[in-house]
Amino acid sequence: MEFIYPPQCPSCRSEIEAANGVCPDCWRDIAFLSGDLCKFCNAPLKGDLGPDGICDACVHHPPAWDRGAAAVLYEGVGRKLVLALKHGDRLDISPLAAGWMHRAGADLITSADLITPAPMHWLRLAKRRFNQAGELARSVATHAGRPHAFAPDLLMRKRATATQDGKTRVERMDNVLGVFSVAPKWEGSVPGGKILLVDDVMTTGATLSECAEVCRQAGAAEVNVLVMARVARADWSS
């Protein structure tokens, strides 16, 4: 099959040597996160980290989760791949991203009792046909050899909401307030457990923070987050 259909770079479609990779040019354009990163939001910072490894934004607006990790910055090829997965039905990007996410948050994946995606309302799911966060969570669990930890329907979105795009931090928080709940079938599995929330992109973290708060209210002992891409602080809506 590879002789007839050679592997292609998921970004530029150029031919590559092996599947689940990117070409050298696209690889150089991906901003993998490393160095000094906030332990909560994984924002790349220079001289803005406090003594506990927490950025100024998270000091003033602490998220509801314990630790966070992200694989790449939401820019260049990284942004292109996220959008292709999210809106272009490019499910082949999910296993590729899972490898990057595993390198970024291996300890979070290993310690999690349940690995679950940020939920999508059924109306949007019917329109899009799949939840990109769900595909990433599934691939992350599989890549780590922990498919049994994958809990695709742990959280429910109780009502449809407007997109978060273009909203400020406060507007994003208001938009998702009271939207999520733990599915009844999972209520007995959350108390005392460690939950890993997975999503495609983190901007201000409003959605993931609300999901984490719901898990805490259900009795989770620890809640962490892992995302494919992190929006740079300078690109947030003011």
Q: What does pLDDT average to over the chain? A: 88
**pLDDT tens figures, 226-238:** 999 999 876 554 3
- The helix/strand/coil state of 44 is strand
In the chain, DSSP assigns E strands to 67-73, 114-117, 155-157, 180-182, 194-202, 222-230
Dmax (CA) of the chain? 55
Q: Show the tokens assigned to 218.
A: 């259900």
Q: In the prediction, which pLDDT does 17 show? A: 79
**Side-chain-side CA neighbours of residue 144 (13 Å):** 29
Contact indicator for 224, 67 with CB cutoff of 8 Å: yes
| Res 146 pLDDT > 70 | yes
More confident residue, 196 or 21: 196
**pLDDT tens figures, 26-35:** 999 999 998 8
**pLDDT tens figures, 129-141:** 889 999 999 999 9
**pLDDT tens figures, 77-111:** 999 999 999 888 888 899 999 999 999 999 999 99
In 63-205, DSSP assigns E strands to 67-73, 114-117, 155-157, 180-182, 194-202
Give 222's strand partners.
194
Rounded percentage of the chain residues whose pLDDT exceeds 90 = 57
**pLDDT tens figures, 158-177:** 887 767 777 777 777 777 77
pTM: 0.90
CATH class (in words) of the domain with range 24-235: alpha beta
**pLDDT tens figures, 32-83:** 998 888 889 888 776 655 567 888 888 888 999 999 999 999 999 999 999 9
